[in-house]
């Protein structure tokens, strides 16, 4: 890369260390990777230490400090992608390109690997090619893709239909059904004023849609009341669009269909808490949305709905989009703020909570995309109107991202209180064995629980609804989730850093037919330990899927367990696998045993 390119990137971000994530991303987009000289140059220009720059560059999955090929193909590896056959397709692509997964080709042309759920569960198997999303992969597309890569055709010239992403809205409700003219809610909000708006949010009973269900009015009030250490009394609004929970894709659709609702919700939040700046933290997997969203922001600025004097008032507010780079943990609000500041996404010690000490230690409210969109509706129609939908303690609507074994995967918006059974009927699910609500960190429901309701008082949900029918093996579902958490643990605290890795090993050991009763007992103990001692929600919930499947689908484990007592993890036959690979042998005589698979 010419140093002029890097200079212009650095200039565009005013050489600010807090903009490190965007500087790294744009540098990598220009260069294909982050070479040591570029990291050194960025450190010098921003005044950060080189170690600090490396620390951030090494933390995020989508930054690479070594070349990974002109073409980088990442297969979304959520369980729903697996159920749609992504593993065989990835193998086929690797075979066509003479590659091993995770390795760069000898000529430096291409690498193929897996990545955590990319939020395309209703149209998988999905891949990211140089961080552009391709959906509906099949064998034809794999062969065509291999040919395009071998012919070195730039990704920009690949068939356009590969990059098409469907919204798949199957059922619309309050949010998806409610067209509001841009500025309408804002005018109503400005007429009420910040305190009046807060009253409406309180009347509405709005609770956070990210899963925890914290009262939005209380969060905004705390942020409004907190003392800012900044000379100008700065406060911040952050929209959490780091939709990383596997199986969740409703924020993607909200940002595609109703970006004005979301941005206007952020602006109203700014009015309520007294902030002048907002950030949309968009997950790296949704890079393709960036240009369209920037265009919406530009349009809103031109219309006087953002900027120095909004709708002719003395209220000023503007929004910046911050793109993530592949780290699930950044969905945790304090980790997200660290990431906004250009650092690795490691959750902070709480208290203090972000509402008192968030971005740059100023009061910051972090709200989910759906929460802010709902706030916008409340500003326009009033809190009482909103509270008429849903249940008494879970007001309004909930958007579910339905995927897995059903006829019509996609987006379903219901008033809170809908039963799991109702959703299953509407999406055309048959002979359902289990539903994973709210993703791996949520809860797994068995058929005797399908009468339960999606609501904060019963089954809370951040939006994921993954359906598994009777042909599925729930052990493999849990094993996929165990590897997901091991990959996404930030590594800050001992129980999560090591515990998630040990859990993944336990599950692999059981899968290889070497599990014992003792291992199952260890898993229960690990669940209790991680739940009690982990630093944040990731570690506290990471063992949930294993725990739930062990409790509710025990036979899927038992049939893999041969030994009643202890079995060592060391597998002599597996230890020979490297020798087999080197000699190209896989015949029975090259194995110590051939009775591995259950």
Partner 1 sequence: MSEPSHFKLDGEDIPCRPGQTVMQAAQAAGRYIPHLCWHPDFAPHGSCKICVVKADGRTVAACTFEARPGMQVENRTPEMDDHRRRLLNMLFVEGNHFCPSCEKSGNCTLQATAYELGMANFHFDHFFPDRPVDASHPDVMLDFNRCIQCELCVRASRDVDGKQIFALAGRGIRSHLIVNSASGRLADSNFAVSDRAASVCPVGVILKKRVGFAIPIGSRRYDAAPISAEAQPSPPPAQGERP
DSSP string, 61-109: TT--SS---SEEEEEE-SHHHHHTTHHHHHHHHHHHTT--TTSB-TTSS
Q: Return d(Cα 287, Cα 248) in angstroms, integer.
A: 16
CB of 86 vs partner 1, minimal distance in Å:
22
Comparison of 497 and 517: residue with beta carbon closer to partner 1: 497
DSSP string, 173-203: -TTTT----TTHHHHHHHHHHHHHHHHHHHH
Q: Does 486 interact with partner 1 (rule: CB under 8 A)?
A: yes
Task: Select the residue interacting with partner 1 from 144, 290, 393, 498 (CB under 8 A).
Answer: 498
Comparison of 65 and 222: residue with beta carbon closer to partner 1: 65
Q: Does 327 interact with partner 1 (rule: CB under 8 A)?
A: yes
Closest C-alpha among 549, 533, 387 to residue 475: 549
Q: Return d(Cα 159, Cα 148) in angstroms, integer.
A: 10
Q: What b/e string do you get for 485-504 counting C-beta neighbours within 10 Å, with b at 16 or more?
A: bbbbbbebbebbbebbbbbb
> What does the angle CA 96 – CA 100 – CA 101 come to, to the nearest 5 degrees?
100
Q: Does 490 interact with partner 1 (rule: CB under 8 A)?
A: yes
Q: Does 59 interact with partner 1 (rule: CB under 8 A)?
A: yes
Comparison of 44 and 152: residue with beta carbon closer to partner 1: 44
For residue 222 the two structure tokens come to: 């705390």
CB of 121 vs partner 1, minimal distance in Å:
23
Task: Select the residue interacting with partner 1 from 281, 416, 484, 492 (CB under 8 A).
Answer: 492
Q: Does 535 interact with partner 1 (rule: CB under 8 A)?
A: yes
Task: Select the residue interacting with partner 1 from 15, 408, 497, 591 (CB under 8 A).
Answer: 497
Q: Is the CB of residue 333 less than 8 Å from the CB of residue 311?
A: no
CB of 533 vs partner 1, minimal distance in Å:
5
Q: Is the CB of residue 276 less than 8 Å from the CB of residue 317?
A: yes
Task: Select the residue interacting with partner 1 from 569, 575, 579, 592 (CB under 8 A).
Answer: 569
Comparison of 328 and 359: residue with beta carbon closer to partner 1: 328
Q: Binding pattern to partner 1, positions 19-58, x when CB under 8 A?
A: -----------------x---x--------xxxx-xx-xx
Q: Return d(Cα 484, Cα 500) in angstroms, integer.
A: 9
Task: Select the residue interacting with partner 1 from 69, 344, 404, 442 (CB under 8 A).
Answer: 344
Comparison of 528 and 585: residue with beta carbon closer to partner 1: 528
Q: Does 572 interact with partner 1 (rule: CB under 8 A)?
A: no
Contact set for partner 1, span 512-531 (CB under 8 A): 525-526, 529
The reply to whether omega before 285 is within 30° of 0 (cis) is no
Task: Select the residue interacting with partner 1 from 172, 184, 446, 501 (CB under 8 A).
Answer: 501
Q: Is the CB of residue 69 less than 8 Å from the CB of residue 108?
A: yes
Which stretches of the chain bind partner 1, using CB under 8 A? 36, 40, 49-52, 54-55, 57-61, 327, 344, 349, 486-495, 497-502, 505, 525-526, 529, 532-535, 568-570
């Amino acid at each position: 890369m010419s140093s002029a390119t890097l200079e212009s990137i650095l200039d565009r971000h005013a050489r600010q260390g807090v903009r490190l994530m965007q500087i790294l991303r744009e540098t990598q987009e220009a260069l294909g990777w982050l070479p040591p000289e570029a990291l050194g140059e960025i450190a010098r220009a921003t005044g950060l230490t080189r170690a600090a720059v490396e620390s951030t560059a090494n933390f995020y999955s989508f930054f690479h400090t070594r070349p990974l090929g002109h073409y980088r193909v990442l297969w979304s590896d959520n369980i729903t992608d697996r159920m749609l056959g992504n593993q065989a397709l990835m193998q086929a692509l690797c075979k066509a390109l003479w590659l091993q997964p995770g390795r760069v080709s000898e000529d430096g042309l291409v690498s193929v690997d897996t990545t955590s759920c990319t939020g395309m569960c209703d149209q998988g198997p999905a891949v990211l090619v140089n961080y552009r999303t391709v959906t509906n992969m099949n064998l034809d597309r794999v062969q065509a893709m291999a040919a395009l890569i071998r012919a070195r055709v730039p990704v920009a010239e690949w068939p356009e239909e590969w990059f098409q992403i469907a919204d798949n809205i199957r059922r619309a409700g309050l949010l998806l059904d409610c067209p509001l003219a841009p500025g309408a809610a804002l005018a109503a909000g400005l007429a009420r004023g910040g305190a009046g708006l807060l009253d409406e949010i309180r009347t509405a009973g709005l609770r956070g849609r990210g899963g925890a269900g914290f009262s939005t009015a209380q969060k905004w009030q705390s942020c409004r009341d907190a003392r800012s250490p900044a000379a100008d009394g700065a406060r911040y609004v952050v929209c959490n669009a780091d939709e990383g929970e596997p199986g969740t894709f409703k924020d993607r659709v909200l940002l595609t269909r109703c970006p004005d609702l979301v941005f206007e919700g952020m602006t109203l939040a700014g009015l309520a808490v007294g902030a002048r700046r907002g950030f949309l933290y968009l997950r790296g997997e949704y890079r393709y949305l960036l240009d369209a969203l920037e265009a919406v922001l530009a349009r809103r600025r031109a219309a006087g709905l953002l900027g120095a004097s909004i709708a002719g008032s003395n209220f000023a507010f503007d929004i910046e989009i911050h793109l993530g780079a592949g780290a699930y943990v950044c969905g945790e609000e304090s980790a997200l703020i660290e990431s906004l500041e250009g650092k690795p996404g490691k959750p902070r010690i709480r208290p203090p909570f972000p509402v008192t000490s968030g971005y740059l230690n100023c009061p910051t409210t972090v709200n989910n995309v759906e929460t802010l969109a709902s706030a916008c509706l409340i500003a326009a129609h009033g809190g009482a109107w909103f509270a008429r939908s849903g249940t008494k303690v879970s007001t309004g609507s909930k958007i579910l991202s339905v995927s897995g074994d059903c006829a019509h995967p996609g987006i379903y918006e219901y008033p809170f209180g809908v039963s799991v059974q109702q959703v299953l009927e509407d999406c055309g699910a048959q002979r359902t064995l289990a539903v994973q609500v709210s993703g791996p960190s949520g809860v797994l429901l068995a058929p005797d629980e399908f009468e339960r309701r999606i609501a904060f008082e019963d089954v809370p949900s951040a939006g994921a609804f993954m359906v598994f029918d009777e042909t599925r093996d729930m052990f493999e579902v849990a094993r996929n989730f165990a590897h997901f958490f091991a990959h996404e643990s930030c590594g800050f605290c001992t129980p999560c850093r090591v515990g998630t890795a040990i859990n993944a090993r336990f599950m692999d050991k059981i899968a290889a037919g070497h599990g014992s009763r003792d291992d199952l007992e260890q898993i229960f103990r690990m669940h209790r330990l991680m739940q009690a001692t982990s630093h944040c929600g990731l570690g506290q919930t990471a063992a949930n899927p294993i725990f739930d499947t062990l409790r509710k689908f025990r036979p899927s484990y038992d049939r893999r367990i041969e030994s009643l007592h202890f079995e060592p993890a060391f597998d002599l036959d597996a230890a020979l696998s490297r020798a087999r690979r080197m000699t190209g042998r896989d015949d029975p005589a090259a194995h110590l045993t051939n009775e591995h698979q259950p």
